[in-house]
A and B are shown apart, each in its own frame.
Chain A
Amino acid sequence: MTASFRAIRVIAVREFAALFRLPIGWLIVAVFQLLIGLIFALTVLTPEAPATMRPVFGVAMLIVILVAPAVAMRLISEEARAGTLEVVLSAPVRSWELALGKYLAGMALAGCMLLPMLIHAWLLRTVSEPKPDWGPIAAGMLSLAMLGSVCVALGLLASAMTESQTLAFLGTVLTLTAWVLATTIGPAYVPERFAGALAAASPGRRIDDFARGVIDLRHIVFFTAFTAWLVFAAGVAIERRRWR
């Protein structure tokens, strides 16, 4: 095992365990499941409703935009506030290893949020006739994971830039909202030559494709590259702490 991999694993495991040693981890998972359960019961699990998880995925996307920043807001800022970041920065851990370890812990919690949704899918398959295909369900889950990944990475970056968890949360939610609005409504208000580029940066259209069961490699590359860039920027923000 290389030193980098070991450092990333050590940081990720501690952070993930810390999220569940405190009420925040349980609370986030419980609130997400409660909301998703309600949406599922009210929109999917009703007579005459088509056997699809699409309505759930649509609402889940909005909930992820709100909940993922709550997961990420404490990743670095809590350590900075408590003073433990100083100890980590004096250890033989590189800033990018710290950022990646924290991101993986955030994604593990996001996984704990999203995976129970498979129970809803299984329930739908059990009670409905004809049975829904697994393809669109898997694509929908993948889309939420991709969106969650970007949200956690953006929250991590915000958390690395401030010691206030509230600021990190608000900064992340506002940036995500601005991103969704700018790329959804924006193209109608900008010159045509920019409209295409703006629309291409829209997470909504890509999520729609996933929800239809289309797993387009370009969408995966888009979300993965965006996440990688944000985690890299978080690493730079942590490194900057050594310089400011």
Chain B
Amino acid sequence: MIVANDLHRWYGRNHAVRGVSLEVPPGQILGLLGPNGAGKSTTIRMLAGVLTPDRGSITIQGVDARRRPTLARTNIGYLPESAALYTEMSVLGMLRHHASLHGLSGDDRRKAVARAMERCRLPAERGRSRLGSLSKGYRQRAALAAAIVHDPPVLILDEPTNGLDPTQLREARSLIGELAQDRTVIVCSHVLSEIERICQRVVIIAGGRVLADDPLDSLRTPAGCIAEVLLDPEACRGLLEGAQAVFEPLEAGWTRLTLDHAPEADVPARHWLAHRLRGREIRELRDRRGGLEDHFVRVLDKLEADA
């Protein structure tokens, strides 16, 4: 469990993070999204204990990270964006080193290293390989194994699928899903489709603020509908009076209608539109699926409009 409350961070005069608050329970995978310079990397680094917030508090597994930073950090596994590795070390050597940094020794350390390698699907014969000689996919797995070697309850992953090929991507997704079963996982990524596939909840940060915090399932529900009808836009506007709709003229007198929602809250948009267009020639009428990308764009557009 990780709880961040009213986090602020300045870089000189630049107020990079402005009051970010999050609460992520065990078993949940939270996706952190935002445009470049939004403050998500700073937020991630504060949560991982690499940076200290100028204001606000972070509690990790009930431990106040400001008062007892070292103890709080025992609960964190962190994979930075660059999958930073000691390239001159072997896979086994690096995993042993990370386990030792977290206080493991002897048999406990040996078991922890074997478990991390197994979970990250690192074959035993790769153990002696120098990290610098491994492929990108194996390096990413090794970095992830280093992040989980001490079995942390909170896992913070910055761009965990960076540079992986499609097969490796699928493996990484399934691995993160497995790891999240008994852990709190925060994933930061630029790739919306990855967040959509991996996470259960998504937080959008821009301008250092949390702009949206939604369960991903709610974004997958139908969001409005689309119809193509043989009418000119003006006639459509008259028919749909009272509704928030967009009219796009198509070829040969056809118009595409996009409706966000019906004016009556309890009526599905598609039913309402079908009723209004009764007797007209309709060639398409379907629900509009509100994906993460739509949501992301809408949230950022709203921010721009408000500004």
Contact = CB atoms under 8 A, between A and B. Distances in A.
Contacts of B100: 6, 10
Contacts of B49: 89-90
Nearest to B84: A83
Contact of A86 (B45, B73, B101): B45
Interface in B61-100: 70-71, 73-74, 76, 78, 80-82, 84-89, 97-98, 100
B97 A14 contact: yes
**Chain B, interface SS category:** loop
A220 interface: no
Contacts of B81: 83
Contacts of B87: 82
Contact of B84 (A11, A18, A82): A82
Interface residues of B, number: 31
A238 to B, nearest CB: 12
B159 to A, nearest CB: 12
Contacts of B288: none
A105 B16 CA distance: 37
B45 A91 contact: no
B103 A3 contact: yes
A242 B47 CA distance: 12
B51 interface: yes
A125 interface: no
Contacts of A93: 70, 101
Given A6-B103, A14-B86, A84-B86, A90 B76 contact: yes
A88 interface: yes
Contacts of B45: 86
B52 A90 contact: no
Which one of A10, A92, A93, A243 has the greatest number of beta carbons of chain B within 10 Å?
A: A92
A11 B102 CA distance: 12
A21 B73 CA distance: 29
Contacts of A14: 86, 89, 97
A120 interface: no
Nearest to A21: B88
B82 A21 contact: no
B14 to A, nearest CB: 12
Q: Is the interface of A mostly helix, strand, loop or mixed?
A: helix
B101 A88 contact: yes
B120 interface: no
A22 B49 CA distance: 30
Given A21-B89, A87-B78, A242 B71 contact: no
B50 interface: yes
B73 A92 contact: yes
Interface in A100-139: none
Contacts of A21: 88-89
B206 interface: no
B50 A86 contact: yes
A240 to B, nearest CB: 10
A25 B14 CA distance: 42
Contact of B52 (A82, A87, A242): A242
B73 A84 contact: no
B48 interface: yes
Contacts of B51: 242-243
A242 B45 CA distance: 9
B257 interface: no
A42 B67 CA distance: 61
B101 A10 contact: yes
Interface string A1-40: 0010011001100100010011000000000000000000
B82 A90 contact: no
The interface centre, meaning the residue of A11, A84, A86 with most chain B CB atoms within 10 A of its CB, is A86
Given A83-B80, A86-B45, A90-B50, A7 B88 contact: no
B210 interface: no
Interface in B13-52: 45, 48-52
A37 B31 CA distance: 61
B103 A92 contact: yes
Contact of B78 (A3, A6, A11, A86): A86
Query: Which 8 A-B pairs give the minimum distances between C-beta atoms?
Result: A83-B84, A90-B78, A83-B82, A10-B100, A21-B88, A84-B84, A90-B48, A91-B101
17 contacts: A6-B100, A6-B103, A6-B105, A14-B86, A14-B97, A18-B86, A18-B89, A84-B85, A85-B84, A86-B45, A86-B50, A90-B50, A91-B98, A91-B101, A92-B71, A93-B101, A243-B51
Interface of B: 11, 45, 48-52, 70-71, 73-74, 76, 78, 80-82, 84-89, 97-98, 100-103, 105, 146, 156
Given A84-B84, A93-B101, 17 more contacts: A3-B103, A10-B97, A14-B86, A18-B86, A21-B88, A22-B88, A82-B85, A83-B80, A85-B84, A86-B78, A86-B80, A87-B78, A90-B76, A91-B98, A91-B101, A92-B70, A92-B71
